[in-house]
Structure 1
Amino acid sequence: MSLNEEYQKKLVTPEQAVRVVKSGDWVDYGSFAGQVVELDKALAARKEELNDVNIRTFTSLRVPEVVKVDPEAEHFIFNNWHFSGIDRKLHDQGSAWYIPMLYHEVPGIYRRFLDVDVAMIPVTPMDEHGYFNFGMQVSHTHAVCEKAKIVILEVNPNMPKCLGGKEESIHISEVDYVVEANWPMFQVPSGEPKEIEKKIASYIMPLLEDGSCIQLGIGGMPNAVGGMIAQSDLKDLGLHSEMFTESMVDMVESGRVTGARKNIDRYKVTYTFGFGTQKTYDFLNNNPQCATYPVDYVNDPFIIAQNDKVVSINNCIEIDLTGQVASESSGTRHISGTGGQFDFAFGSYHSKGGQSFMAMESTFKKNGELHSRINPIITPGGVVTTHRALVQYMVTEYGIVNLKGLSTWQRAEALISIAHPDFREELIQEAEKIGIWRRSNKH
C-alpha cells in the first residue's frame, strides 16, 4: 500500500472520527496554538450521548466547544496543564481544572502514569515520506501519541512546519484516523509593553552580556526585554527557551542572536512551543535556524545548564519577605501555572555565568484600592511556585536585588527596598512581628 493509499484509507470526517470516544475516556486535544477545532466541534455535538469524558490540554487560546455546550461539566471535564486568561475565567466559573506539574517532567508523566484513550492532534499536511509535523506544539505531544489507544490527526495546511531535533513529527503508520481542516492559526499579539514594564526591563538589560543565552517567559515584561535586546548592541546571543515569543523574531532579525557561543544546539534557536501573530508563524515555518524539541529536553535543568551565561527572565504574581515566589495563583484563585519557571530558574543558576530574574510590578489595583505584591507572607491559599532558596534576582519598577546568600532579615530589607514606597513602613512593622527585621536595619 502506498503512503497516499494509506492516508485515504484513514481519512474520515470529524463526525466519524469522534465516534471512537466513549463515556469515561481521557482525550488529549493538543496544546497552545495547536489545539483541535473541527474535532472539538464534532465531539461537542455528542454531548447528550456522553458522560465524564475527561479532556486534557495546555493553555487555551479560545473557549473549547465542549465547554461552551457544557459549562457545568456534566458531560465533559476540561483539565489544563497551564492556564491562559481564557482558562482562568473558565476555572472561575467551575468549567476547568488545573493539573500541577514541573514542565520538564510532563512527557515522563504521560509515559509513566497517565492513560490516553484518544489523542486528537492538529498537524501539518503529510510530506512525501509519510510524516506529519506537530507544528509549534512539540512539547509533550509525541509522548501523548505513544500512550494513546487511538490517534486522530486534524490536518491543517495553515500550521507552520517547525523543524526539530526530535519527536517533532509522526508517521502515517502510527495514526488511526485523519481528518482534514482549514482553520486560521490563532493570532496572539504581544502588544506594546507598558512604561512600567519597560522600567523593570531597564534594570535587567545592563546585566546581559555578549554571548548570553536567553529564555523569556510569557508576558509584557519579558517581551519588553526582547524588544530592548533587538535595539541593543549585544552580540552573539543565544536562544534556548521553552516558549518562542513574538519579540524573539525581532531579536533574531536584528542580528543580535546568532547562537555562535552556545555549547549545545550551536547556531540554533531552541524552543518547545510557541504562539504569536502570523509574523511568528511565518518566521518559524520551515526555518532551519530554529530547532524545536520535546520539553523534557528543552526544560531539563541539566540540559539548560550546559550552555554558558543562560539568562532566565520570568514574571511572577507575589513574593513574601523571605523570598518565596508565587507565580500561579493569587490566594486561592488560580491564575496561570508552574510552567517552566522552576526549570529555568534552577538550570540558569547552574549555567556557567548564568542569571535568573523574577520580575513583577510592585503593586496591583483591586476595586480601586492599591495593594502590594511584596507581602510579609504569601496570601493565604497562594501556591509557592519557586522556592526561596532558588530565587536569585528580584526586580520591580523600584529596583533589582540579588537574594542569593542572604539571611531572612537581609532578604526582608532587600525586598522592602524595591517595594512601593507607600507600603515600606508597614512591611517593616510586619517583618518585626514575624522576627525577620533587625533593629539595626536601615529604614
Structure 2
Amino acid sequence: MDVYQEYKSKCCTADQAVQVVKDGDWVDYGMSCAYPTALDKALARRHSDLKDIKVRNAISCHAVAILEADPENRTFTYNLWHCSGIDRKYLDAGRAYHEPMLFRDCGSYYRRGFAPVDVAMITVAPMDKHGNFSFGLTNGCTQEMLDAAETIIVEVNPNMPVVFGMGSDHIHVSKVQAIVESQEAVSLAPNREPSAIDKQIAENIFPYLHDGITLQLGIGGMPNALGILIAESDLKDLGMHTELMSDGYLDLYKAGKITNDKKPFQRGKGVFSICMGSKELYEFLDHNQDVLSAPMHYVNNPETIRQLDDFISINSCIAADLYGQVCSESAGTRHISGTGGQLDFVTGAYAADHGKAFLAMPSSRVDKKGVRHSNILPKFTAGDIITTPRTQAPYMVTEYGVANLSGLATWQRAEALINIAHPDMREDLIKAAEAQRIWRRSNKI
C-alpha cells in the first residue's frame, strides 16, 4: 500500500475518530497552535455518553469546546502545562487545573510514564509525497507525547505551515490510527501594542544589547516594544534561539537584523520550539529554510543555551520581593501562567559567556478602585508561586531602571530593588526592609 492509499484508508470524520475515547481515558491535545479544533468539538459532542475524561493541553488560544459543552465538568477535567488568558478564565472558575513543570523537562514526564496518554490528537500540515505530516508551529514536546500515546489521531489542516526542524518535527502516516481533514483556522495570538511603560522598560534594556547577540524574547507588549527599538537601531547580525517565536521576531527578520551568522552553531538558522502570532508570521515560516523548529528538551536545555556566547534572555514577571525572589505565574493563589521556560533561560543565560537574563515588570499596578500597589514587595506571604529563586535572580527591570542582583548581599538587593520601585512606594519598602533586617543604615535612596 502506498502512502496515499494508506492515507485514504485512515480518513474519517471527526465524530468517527473520537469514538476511540473511552471512560477514564487521558486525552492529550497538541499544545498552542497544534490544538485539534475539529476533534475538540467532536469530543465535546460526546459529553453525555462519557465519564471521567482527563484532557491535557497548554496555552489554549480560543474557547475550549469540551468545557463549553460541559459547564459543570461532569465529564471532562482540563489540565494545563501552561496557561493563556483564556485558560485563566477557566482556572478562575475552578474548571481547569495547572500541571507545574519546567518546559525543558515536560517531554520527560511522557517518556518516564508520569503523564499517561490514551489518545493523542494534534493538528498537522498536509502530508507530503513521502507520507510525512509536519508538526508545523508546535514542536515542543509533541514527539514525546505521541510516543507515549496508545492511539494517535491527526487533524490535517492546510492552514498549518510546513516548518523544517532539527528533529521531532513530523510524523509518518504509518504511525497514526486516524486522519481527519479540517479547514479550521489555525490559532492566532493577539499582538499586544506596547504601553508607555513597556516602551520605557524596553529603553532600559536596550543599552545592554550589541551586535552579534543571540536573543530570546517572550511574548507581549514589552518584547514588542524592544523589537521595534532594535528594528529601528543600527544593531546587526543578531541570532534567534527561543522557546516561543512571536511577531517581534518577524519584525526583526523583515528589518534584516536577524541573520544568525554569528551563532557558534546552527549558523544561519533561527531556532524556536513553539510559534504563536499572526497569519503573516505563519506565512513567513512556511517552507522557510532560514528557521528551524526543535524539541523543547533541546531548545530550553541550559547546556544548549550555555554554548551560545553573548546570549540575551528577556522575559516578563509579575512581582519580586526584596530578597530577590521572583513570581511569574500567580497573583497570590490566583494562577496566571506557569513556570514555562523562564528558569531554563535564566539558568542557561547565566552560564553562557557574556550571557545575561532580564526579568521585566511594571514597578506598580493600579487596581479597579484606583489604588496603586507595588509589584516589588517586602516579602511574599499570600501564596505567590516562586518561579525564579533568589539564588538565581538575574537583571530585574522596571520603568525606573535595571538592578543586577547577582552576587549581592540581602541589604544590597533591597537597596537595588527599591531604587527601581515606584517612587511613591519606596518609603514603605525601606521601612519594611528595616523591619526585616535587610536595610543597612548607610543605604541611600
Which TM-score tier does this pair reach, normalised by the shorter chain?
A: over 0.9
1:63-94 residue CA offsets vs partner (Å, 9 max, x unmatched): 11100011222100000111100000110011
Where in structure 2 are there 5+ consecutive unaligned residues? none
- Counterparts of 1:297 and 1:216, CA distance in 2: 17
Kindly indicate whether residue 269 of structure 2 is the aligned counterpart of residue 275 of structure 1.
no
The residue identity in structure 2 corresponding to 1:301 is P
Where in structure 1 are there 5+ consecutive unaligned residues? none
Contact 1:72 1:94 in 2 (8 A): no
Which runs of structure 2 are paired with 1:88-99 in the superposition (5 Å)?
88-99=88-99
SS at match of 1:185: coil
Question: Offset at 1:379?
Answer: 4.3
SS at match of 2:390: coil
1:382-416 residue CA offsets vs partner (Å, 9 max, x unmatched): 00000112122110001111101100000000000
Q: 1:379 to 1:281 in 2, by over 3 A?
A: farther
SS at match of 1:121: strand
Alignment correspondent of 1:214: 215
- Counterparts of 2:298 and 2:144, CA distance in 1: 13
Alignment correspondent of 1:105: 105
- Counterparts of 1:224 and 1:388, CA distance in 2: 27
Alignment correspondent of 2:401: 399
SS at match of 1:228: helix
Alignment correspondent of 1:33: 33
Superposition TM-score, scaled by structure 2 size: 0.98
Contact 1:318 1:378 in 2 (8 A): no
Alignment correspondent of 2:261: 260
Question: Offset at 1:218?
Answer: 2.1
SS at match of 1:197: helix
Identity of aligned residues (%): 49
Which of 432, 435, 442 aligns to 1:433? It is 435
Which of 371, 374, 394 aligns to 1:372? It is 374
Alignment correspondent of 1:348: 349
Alignment correspondent of 1:303: 304
The residue identity in structure 2 corresponding to 1:57 is N
CA RMSD of aligned residues (A): 0.8
Kindly indicate whether residue 387 of structure 2 is the aligned counterpart of residue 385 of structure 1.
yes
- Counterparts of 1:441 and 1:382, CA distance in 2: 28
Contact 2:192 2:220 in 1 (8 A): no
Which runs of structure 2 are paired with 1:113-262 in the superposition (5 Å)?
113-262=114-263
Kindly indicate whether residue 330 of structure 2 is the aligned counterpart of residue 337 of structure 1.
no
1:123-143 residue CA offsets vs partner (Å, 9 max, x unmatched): 011100000011111100111
Which runs of structure 2 are paired with 1:310-325 in the superposition (5 Å)?
310-325=311-326
- Counterparts of 2:420 and 2:346, CA distance in 1: 20
Alignment correspondent of 1:4: 4
1:297-349 residue CA offsets vs partner (Å, 9 max, x unmatched): 10001001111100000000000001000000010000011011000011011
Alignment correspondent of 1:51: 51
1:140-177 residue CA offsets vs partner (Å, 9 max, x unmatched): 01111101000000000000111111010000011101
Superposition TM-score, scaled by structure 1 size: 0.99
Question: Offset at 1:442?
Answer: 1.1
1:200-236 residue CA offsets vs partner (Å, 9 max, x unmatched): 0001111101111000012211121112111111111
Task: Give the paired residue count.
Answer: 443
Contact 1:120 1:153 in 2 (8 A): yes
Alignment correspondent of 1:424: 426
Question: Offset at 1:53?
Answer: 0.3
- Counterparts of 1:114 and 1:84, CA distance in 2: 21
The residue identity in structure 1 corresponding to 2:406 is K
The residue identity in structure 2 corresponding to 1:186 is S
Kindly indicate whether residue 84 of structure 2 is the aligned counterpart of residue 84 of structure 1.
yes
SS at match of 1:48: helix
The residue identity in structure 2 corresponding to 1:326 is C
The residue identity in structure 1 corresponding to 2:376 is I
Bigger shift: residues 374-383 or 282-291: 374-383
Alignment correspondent of 1:14: 14
Question: Offset at 1:184?
Answer: 1.6
Alignment correspondent of 1:60: 60
- Counterparts of 2:190 and 2:381, CA distance in 1: 31
